[in-house]
Amino acid sequence: MDFQKELEFLKEATVGLFNKKGVSFDFGAKPYSTGGHVVRILIVNGDSSTHGNHQRLELSYLTAKDTIHVSLLNNSVTYEKVSKEVKKEVIQSYMNELLDSPRGKGEKSFSEENDVIDFYAILNTLSDQVFSNDFFEFNSWKKTIYLHEELKVGYNALNNELHVHGGVGSVAKMGDLHDITASIELGTLPETNKTYMNVHSSIAPSPTYPKGVYEEATVDMFVQSVIEQYQGAWNKK
């Protein structure tokens, strides 16, 4: 299997939404018994993949097959849920048309503005882990869980929040990855304009940034930490 080709298809199928402002996502891949991988994606137009006030977009497919299942639900009572099997060769045009339609826009369209991190580039760096013989899970939220507590501020007190958690390992089912998960966060305190990184769960053997809170943090530090944690998590049990 051509990993880079599969990751290019991932970006086409998700029409770049992983990188957009205000968008959270959960991406998972696992080996399939007859070859290739099962890929499952949840994209939420909101600050956390655990809930969404706007659209919930789900994609699932086998890398070895030529179709992809698309499901879209928004909070409007006007439209029924979209559930459709689409040929991979036309998925990009289908997705663009769907998200540009009244059904796709709902009460709030997905942002067209890129945020500060290229998550597709991170997944490219981790391609060996994404398509390994183990389960892979990558959650990206635009809301911190632990950092505001570490800084002793309110839940919505930070700006430009980022949160990544997940892992890669030999487990019985995808949810079991949460027992061997990495968790890294970034956020800016508006009163001081200082940015902090919180490595809440560290499972890499010798990361540049072990578990702890780091002041004067940067996006580059966050990206480096995410990559090191995922590479270090490989084959954890």
Strands 135-141 and 82-87: unpaired
SS3 156: coil
Please provide the size of the chain in residues: 237
Q: Which of 117, 130, 121, 128 is nearest to 161 (CA)?
A: 117
Q: Which of 43, 42, 39, 49 is nearest to 7 (CA)?
A: 39
pLDDT in tens, 16-55: 999 999 999 999 999 998 899 999 999 999 888 776 678 9
**Amino acid letter, 210:** P
Helix (H) and strand (E) counts for the chain? Answer: 7, 10
Mean pLDDT of the chain: 91
Distance CA 236, CA 232 (A): 8
Token readout for 202 is 């560290």
Q: What is the model's pTM? A: 0.93
Q: Which of 127, 146, 131, 119 is nearest to 223 (CA)?
A: 119
Provide CB contacts within 8 A for 52, sequence distance 6+: 24, 44, 45, 46, 75
Instruction: Provide the pLDDT for residue 182.
Output: 87
Beta sheet of 135-141, edge-to-edge order: 82-87, 67-73, 56-62, 37-44, 24-31, 135-141, 159-169, 182-189, 194-201, 212-215
Instruction: Provide the pLDDT for residue 201.
Output: 86
pLDDT in tens, 53-70: 789 999 999 999 999 999
Residue ranges in the chain assigned as alpha helix (H): 3-13, 91-100, 102-105, 119-125, 127-130, 147-150, 219-233
Query: Do residues 120 and 7 lie in contact, with contact meaning Cβ atoms separated by under 8 Å?
Result: yes
